[in-house]
Chain A
């Protein structure tokens, strides 16, 4: 009996699809578990969405009882070239290994996977889980448009009469009429057939509700002398998350950078994060500037406004009452307004804190957070968006 040869089946099922999906879900949940660490990583902040980042994955290794490092091995093909004591290789070290390698090796407790920033941010926001907030805070503005065409009707405005379709209907009716007559009936070639009212066809239009979805993110930062690089980095991480979050929900998002010490200026992104200023701090100046920008360019009826202020909590005492007043005004016009106090540990708690001061503001869309380390950025961000008003430390 001959052997059986079976040719390729016509439509092979992709049998591993569901197992691949489960594996990918595991990778995603592993990323989600470690999101705070990953977000805090400097390489992510300030990148565009199509960039690929390497993310260490834990917890999806398959463990078994295996022998440790002290196990000798045998190789071949050396001939007389090797002597006892020769070094024939180097052990891969964690963190320095080849990407994608090391998953099977003992001692390397993670392997890396490539994730696009886009996907990473999606995972991040899945983690947020904020249905209530979205309804309340992210309401968009409705406006009417009258442009959508939708088929043809027998009635309508004279200007929308579609002459071609009307003619077609008339011809169809005439042909049907002819066919309906008996063959021996007298044919009058000259008979005119007039347009009938049922021949008329009008273009139909519907009104469509269109959701305006414009948003502006106002980044306000204290750039006085006391804000050093570490503090600015923490602030930048926070602004980055805010921008990513907002741009995921609106069609067009604009960002405004407002730097302030005693006076406030609107600056470019680069100046915002790099330029150091000197002198004291008037927080209210930053808020006033923001209010000016809003009234000039971003009317609250047309724009969704997200404002966030980062500072190290240092403010001239005399400015505090006017800062509170300005903050209240900002709350009224924005969807969400937040204040983040950045106090890296070990930096010395010299100045005052504005956290206490801002407690007095109790509108729903105001939130204060305290950021001490880069690991705090993500939890703070969650608290900022969440309704949980407890202070995050």
Chain B
């Protein structure tokens, strides 16, 4: 393998000039050149240079490697992590053109990480050190003769199962228990009545502030950590570590379409205006079309995002001859959306009937073992398709389950509630996941959900799963 680092540096120089001319605002960038084996290794650990050990990453590695070795799948051209400085990997085996394209693409992601609102609570400057410290802590527990790998795996297995049950929008600040109590008292106060003199005053009802949690808590792992008195320090630390990792990845899950579309939009702009020699230009077009080709029957987030970003720009610029003022306005619209949207709001705002028709979208559902088309992109169907899509992107594909009560029926049973939106849980998975919740909580766990259209309590204790009618 020979990588022409100088050539890459030469192109990187030009790409950065263009990127800043376009107004992209990036963290300092670092590239690491690796081979395909290392790439598979980084993929298994979400690109992190250091990460705590767990067998599931070994499984992920084996799976990717098997698929890659059998030619069933290629490897991503690039891998970028949300850190400051931004860290990205290039594969030395790839052609110069592909690596130049990747560099341009990486600057798009870099700008997005730095400026999109969902990423601001992730504290990118601490990403690498945080993952490193977590890895070191877990390793120290593994090496501790009184703990060891088996116990660690048991806790991490359970924590992984629950880690996605956490707050989705990190921009909304979670109230502390004291603040929640304050809010409960404020809410209990009688409403301001301008005609107080002639009305009988409302009776003041003392709010019940003994309930735990006062307001439903979306962070299952943290709640269990803080309210199971039998947790040891290392168990609590493991739950914290797994929770922090989930929180770190949520912005990426929540902005997949926007983020990939944004990076693709800018790599296209940059590459088109880079003075590429003829052969590189042709190769670029081939690669670009490969990345952005629609996947008939499913969704390619690169293609969908790229199409919408182009649409946002062209709506303002119009089809007329380039007008300098319009260009600036169009860019402003792009930057504004890039900063203040996430996938769901992005689709809600910008995905309209015209685009849905253009993309040839359709909705399908399973019926007796077949996938059957339920809606197509016409006047009657496009809104339904849009809604279904919004409900399946990012964290919307994970059920919302919150802690309602830590002392349900007065016997320290943990009551969880599934916030039903028309989609029922997969029951086998629900059972196994409840078993993990029971393991961590140490007492009975009850999940309030809908099964076959009826409200049902799924109860998990040492006898396994049982169901109960509510009430």
Contacts and interface: CB of A to CB of B under 8 A. Distances in A.
Interface stretch (A66-74, A164-172, A325-333, A343-351): A66-74
Contacts of B303: 76
B432 to A, nearest CB: 4
Contacts of B436: 63
A76 B373 contact: no
B295 A77 contact: yes
Given A19-B57, A21-B58, A90-B370, A64 B423 contact: no
A139 interface: no
B296 A75 contact: yes
Interface in A288-345: none
Interface in B393-449: 397-399, 401, 418, 423-430, 432-433, 436
Interface in B32-88: 32-35, 38, 41, 44-45, 53-59, 61-63, 66, 85
Nearest to A69: B366
Contact of A66 (B361, B374, B377, B398): B398
B252 interface: no
A15 B426 contact: no
A7 to B, nearest CB: 5
Contacts of B389: 74
Given A23-B62, A73-B364, A73-B365, A3 B425 contact: no
Contacts of A275: none
A197 interface: no
Nearest to B70: A100
Contact of B361 (A8, A21, A76, A85): A76
A93 B424 CA distance: 21
Contacts of A23: 55-56, 58-59, 62
Contacts of A109: 428
A12 interface: yes
B369 A73 contact: no
A301 B13 CA distance: 83
Interface in A8-56: 8, 12, 14-16, 18-26
Nearest to B30: A4
Given A8-B33, A86-B373, A100 B66 contact: yes
A88 B31 CA distance: 42
A106 interface: yes
Given A62-B56, A82-B362, A68 B427 contact: yes
B373 A82 contact: yes
B244 to A, nearest CB: 18
B376 interface: yes
Nearest to B110: A3
Given A3-B12, A77-B359, A22 B153 contact: yes
A20 B57 CA distance: 7
A65 B371 contact: no
Interface residues of A, number: 59
Contacts of B318: none
Given A22-B55, A74-B389, A75-B362, A4 B44 contact: no
Given A6-B31, A66-B398, A79 B428 contact: no
Contacts of A26: 55
B429 A73 contact: no
Interface stretch (B3-11, B193-201, B269-277, B336-344): B3-11
A218 to B, nearest CB: 43
Q: How large is the interface on B (under 10, 10 to 19, 20 to 34, 35 or more residues)?
A: 35 or more
Nearest to A15: B41
A67 B397 contact: yes
A75 B372 CA distance: 12
A155 interface: no
Contacts, number: 231
A84 interface: yes
B213 interface: no
A187 interface: no
Contacts of B359: 76-77
B399 A5 contact: no
Given A73-B388, A77-B297, A107 B92 contact: no
A60 interface: yes
A91 interface: yes
A393 interface: no
B372 A76 contact: no
B82 to A, nearest CB: 16
Interface stretch (B160-168, B203-211, B226-234): B160-168
A78 interface: yes
B140 to A, nearest CB: 15
A14 B61 CA distance: 11
A79 B360 contact: yes
A19 B54 contact: yes
Contact of B372 (A25, A74, A88, A100): A88
A71 B423 contact: yes
Contacts of B164: 64-65
A72 B376 CA distance: 13
A65 B62 contact: no
A62 B156 CA distance: 11
Contacts of A107: 426, 428
B429 A66 contact: yes
Contact of B429 (A5, A65, A71, A86): A65
A14 B62 CA distance: 13
Contacts of A61: 432
B29 A3 contact: yes
A62 B160 CA distance: 8
B363 A8 contact: no
Nearest to A67: B423
Nearest to B431: A63
B148 interface: no
A5 B297 contact: no
Contact of A16 (B13, B61, B362, B364): B61
Contacts of B397: 67
A3 B365 contact: no
- Pick from A3, A24, A85 the residue with the most CB of B within 10 Å: A3
A67 B419 CA distance: 12
28 contacts: A3-B29, A4-B31, A5-B8, A5-B31, A5-B33, A7-B5, A8-B35, A16-B61, A19-B57, A20-B58, A22-B58, A25-B55, A62-B157, A64-B161, A65-B165, A68-B425, A73-B392, A74-B364, A75-B296, A76-B362, A78-B296, A78-B297, A80-B360, A88-B364, A88-B371, A90-B369, A91-B369, A107-B426
Given A4-B29, A68-B426, 16 more contacts: A3-B30, A8-B33, A8-B34, A14-B41, A16-B41, A16-B57, A23-B59, A64-B398, A65-B399, A65-B430, A67-B399, A76-B303, A76-B362, A82-B362, A91-B369, A109-B428
